[in-house]
Amino acid sequence: MTAPMANTCGRLEAAWEVLRQIPDPEVPVISLAELGIVRDLRETAGGLEVVLTPTYSGCPATELIQDNVRAALTAFGEIQITMQRAPAWTTDWISEEGRAKLKAYGIVPPGLTHLTEGQPIRFVRRGASARLACPHCGSENTEKTSAFGSTPCKALYRCLACLEPFEHFKTI
């Protein structure tokens, strides 16, 4: 490997490390990289190009995310943000570490839509409805209280065993 190539690789890895530290503005326990919003990072003549895919086209935090990425990467020169909307973001892009952080935070992570890795979250069928296991006590005696939580990408649930409310990150 030549010296310029090694420098480029080290620079990109350093930038990725910075991106792994930028929290999602709506769910600050998980980073943009863990959430799968950061799709690519490329070296440009004057700096870096960051490719982002919003969780959905109407996400109210999109501009804030772009601003946070630019601010965090200023030491790397000019930062170009490219919004890539196709393919559309999917909850499959959330990393395993991100899923674990969501659950520890009290948000039930989504199941995988494409069973290519890991196992989806366990749903328990009772009649026509599916029930989620409570992230606090593990009980499957839960109910949906609202189709929308603190953000449109989450739904509100309540555990009927421990009586704690919790959110579920919807599968997209």
Give CA–CA dist 1/41, Å, rounded.
20
Closest CA to 103 of 33, 29, 51: 29
Tens of each residue's pLDDT in the chain, 172 residues: 333 334 567 889 999 999 999 999 989 999 999 999 999 999 998 899 999 999 888 888 999 999 999 999 999 999 999 999 988 888 889 999 999 999 999 988 877 654 444 444 443 333 335 578 898 898 989 999 998 887 777 889 999 999 999 988 887 6
Q: Which residue has the tokens 């969780």?
A: 55
- Calculate ∠ Cα 133-123-129, nearest 5°: 100
CATH 3.30.300.130 domain locations along the chain: 3-83
- Calculate ∠ Cα 103-104-109, nearest 5°: 10
b/e per residue 142-172 (b: at least 16 CB within 10 A): beeeeeebebebbbbbbbeeeeeebbbbbee
pLDDT at 8: 62
Q: Which CATH number, 3.40.50.1000, 3.30.300.130, 3.40.50.300, 3.30.70.1450, labels domain 3-83? A: 3.30.300.130
- pTM of the model as a whole: 0.73
pLDDT at 6: 41
Give CA–CA dist 81/100, Å, rounded.
28
